Structure 1
């Protein structure tokens, strides 16, 4: 009977979650459109979501069988080897052709963005659809990355060895680059101006290609913001490529690998990824619209308003996590430094970022996948009035469920990590208190953004 106890507790956790959140999830809002009404008051809805995450931690904390936890984390199956020709030749070709299509569309754009191949490829096909595959299936960006393919081709033709990537840089270039890319996306009409979008893509491509030529493969492993983003999301995915072939594991279990977060710069990158995904949704809410107009009315330039809020939120997210790491050192009664604890418990946040990205872009991708397919079928003469899919109302509930599922997965990974770090059961449980507190706050913020009506942010 004892051997079945953890399994029963896990099932009970999921049952409790469904009972606690079923009513609230029935009438959620949907992204990029008019949100549905929530059947309960907003404060009760948010508290229910936060309480569900907190309750799931209490239930997970009762699973103390280390052997059972390890069996979940370490379970895997090795599948057949992926064809070398596909990953080495066909995939880079697809990436280069896609890049060429975006640049070509920027030179000869149609009148409407929904008829433009570049806009649809970048925002619908790549940033929404492809990004989902990196955490739902596996990270294929290393094979598809056109800039990496160009760097590899130049090194193969010219020979020579790239410089050694400076260890002191860590992932800091990726942090700065990701902050810059998302801020540019928010304040400029890249989704409405195909020419401007192509210019931005070309500018990023030149910068990352030059860095890749100098530092080689190490640049794409540590410094390139896009490659680092997809690699981080890939740790959540069930499929990963190894020397033996393709390995199937349970979703999120790649986050227990210590190589996912190696130093302080990786910690900040993980928090940055969570923050920029949140900010991208925050600026579409009515609350932000009203607040921005008020601040601009005081005489503050719009660009400065967005930038200050962006940096302030980034500082709050990083500060909250660092505070949690310091508090965990006390609650866990350990001699480990707060930096060491921060490194070990940062990876679970990637499950939260993946869940929120899925909630943030699910409706967007489904609605606009039809225009994308129509334009792909005839990019030279796209339809005058592209059709869009009309989604059923329950999709809004799914979006809210994905936010919660991402947080629940993060809690399990944090629980597993704690039992790997601490020999004592009490230490393992108590060390998680501050991190769970931060996750509850993240949950409530994410749920509020997803449930809020969505507006188009004013471009500057």
Structure 2
């Protein structure tokens, strides 16, 4: 049942903020230097774009702006509804198929943990590192929005949790989905600041710790509340699955148009909307810390006597807050321009799903190069685990046209986001003029973010300063 997004918001805000700050502060204490999961690809390069950067960014922002104008001419509600309601049934894999997928997930987790602990090879020579960063983080995550969300069947944590006894304690409704927001921030903070791509044993320890916390939480509150409200991976993949062309309706798989389910996705409240915005932010931050301007800035801050990790942490927390604040301001602007009785909180939760194509497009642009370069290494290590590990490749081996493909992924994600926002507005507002005006704020944010994400993708890779070795 959907919760009132306005209920308890003022009382929860200070508590949630305190928990986030305390958690990140405690995590920061034992870490002295900064690393990123791209540490195994430190020789990566990207050819600079051949036109002035300002012109390139304005062109990208202009494309999104023009797409909004073009979408505004599509005013036939029946046509908009027909596009998003189109679907076709697909064969059901059945209980046996789902059982085999669940077994595959458990085996993959067990092998990753075992190899991470036992294998002496480091970095991208280690099978556990390749499985996590290439097969799972790069490849599988992309499959959840490009194909469909198979995580409910594959999820090894849930497969094990459902076979363990549970205390069935009542989940505190006042917490809502805020724990998943905090968990997502914490998870990506560990991913960015710990040398998980260089130290397979540390990677195995983090995966094992995540498994332990997940199983304990599911044992206390039950698998359904835990994976619905708290677990960040299950929530992220469930949202990405709404973007995919294959989904589940009434318990049966169906084929639909990409993004077709997003306009009808109604989030419960501000906590769910904050999770979507955070999902967008963490992917951006992961790329931003590998740019030249960030390296220059953090060195200057460190030269002034500020601990480097504090600079990373400060930018992380401030950036997350600014992303959410910008989205709130955009929703408030849309409400004022549409002259509607709907609250800002209502527009925040209804338009938030339109940000998911942007997050997916940037994730694909940010990770596809690593997957293409390292996939042969993964196959070689998996096929001959006892042979000497191959030398790690470099991203510089990508063909010159791949940089253009990355930029295309970013733009396509933004264009789809504009259309989803347009369709959502026509579901919300009876007046066509209201529907168009309600998108002004969200479109302005999308244009700004288009320019930011294109800039990050176009910037040459620079190893994050003070990286652990």
Alignment match, 2:7:
none
Structure 1, unpaired ranges of 5+: 1-29
How far is 1:75 from its partner? 0.5
SS in 2 for 1:348: helix
Alignment match, 1:177:
183
1:402 maps to 2:413: no
Q: Is the 8 A contact 2:167 2:219 kept in 1?
A: no
Q: Is the 8 A contact 2:134 2:371 kept in 1?
A: yes
How far is 1:109 from its partner? 2.7
Residues 37 and 80 of structure 1: is their aligned pair in 2 closer, same or farther, counting only changes over 3 Å? same
Distance 2:56 2:42 in 1: 18
Query: After superposition, where does 1:203-218 map in structure 2 within 5 Å?
Result: 203-216=209-222, 217-218=224-225
Alignment match, 1:371:
377
**Counterpart selection for 1:45 from 56, 60, 63:** 56
Distance 2:335 2:42 in 1: 39
Alignment match, 1:61:
72
**Counterpart selection for 1:79 from 75, 81, 90:** 90
Q: Is the 8 A contact 1:370 1:388 kept in 2?
A: no
**Counterpart selection for 2:320 from 297, 314, 319:** 314
1:70 maps to 2:81: yes
Distance 1:182 1:81 in 2: 34
- Give the alignment's TM-score, normalised by structure 1: 0.89
Distance 2:278 2:188 in 1: 10
How far is 1:317 from its partner? 0.2
1:450 maps to 2:447: no
How far is 1:378 from its partner? 2.3
Alignment match, 1:338:
344
Alignment match, 1:383:
389
**Counterpart selection for 1:119 from 129, 136, 147:** 129
How far is 1:269 from its partner? 0.2
Residues 398 and 238 of structure 1: is their aligned pair in 2 closer, same or farther, counting only changes over 3 Å? same
How far is 1:300 from its partner? 0.7
How far is 1:164 from its partner? 3.1
**Counterpart selection for 1:299 from 302, 305, 315:** 305
Alignment match, 1:277:
283
Residues 374 and 253 of structure 1: is their aligned pair in 2 closer, same or farther, counting only changes over 3 Å? same
How far is 1:80 from its partner? 1.5
How far is 1:31 from its partner? 11
Stretch deviating more after TM superposition (77-86 or 265-274): 77-86
Alignment match, 1:361:
367
Q: Is the 8 A contact 2:425 2:435 kept in 1?
A: yes
Q: Is the 8 A contact 2:124 2:197 kept in 1?
A: no
Residues 113 and 313 of structure 1: is their aligned pair in 2 closer, same or farther, counting only changes over 3 Å? same
Alignment match, 1:190:
196
How far is 1:173 from its partner? 1.0
How far is 1:419 from its partner? 0.6
CA RMSD of aligned residues (A): 1.7
Distance 1:365 1:32 in 2: 15
1:433 maps to 2:424: no
1:150 maps to 2:157: no
Residues 330 and 123 of structure 1: is their aligned pair in 2 closer, same or farther, counting only changes over 3 Å? same
Deviations 1:20-61 (A, max 9, x none): xxxxxxxxxx99721112121000000000000000000000
How far is 1:100 from its partner? 1.2
Stretch deviating more after TM superposition (74-83 or 329-338): 74-83
Distance 1:277 1:321 in 2: 16
Distance 2:245 2:276 in 1: 19
How far is 1:414 from its partner? 0.3
SS in 2 for 1:257: coil
**Counterpart selection for 2:115 from 94, 102, 105:** 105
Q: Is the 8 A contact 1:374 1:382 kept in 2?
A: no
Q: Is the 8 A contact 2:406 2:457 kept in 1?
A: yes
Q: Is the 8 A contact 2:48 2:460 kept in 1?
A: no
Alignment match, 1:94:
104
Distance 1:172 1:392 in 2: 42
Q: Is the 8 A contact 1:374 1:386 kept in 2?
A: no
SS in 2 for 1:253: coil
- Give the alignment's TM-score, normalised by structure 2: 0.88
Residues 61 and 230 of structure 1: is their aligned pair in 2 closer, same or farther, counting only changes over 3 Å? same
Alignment match, 1:459:
467
Aligned residue pairs: how many?
A: 425
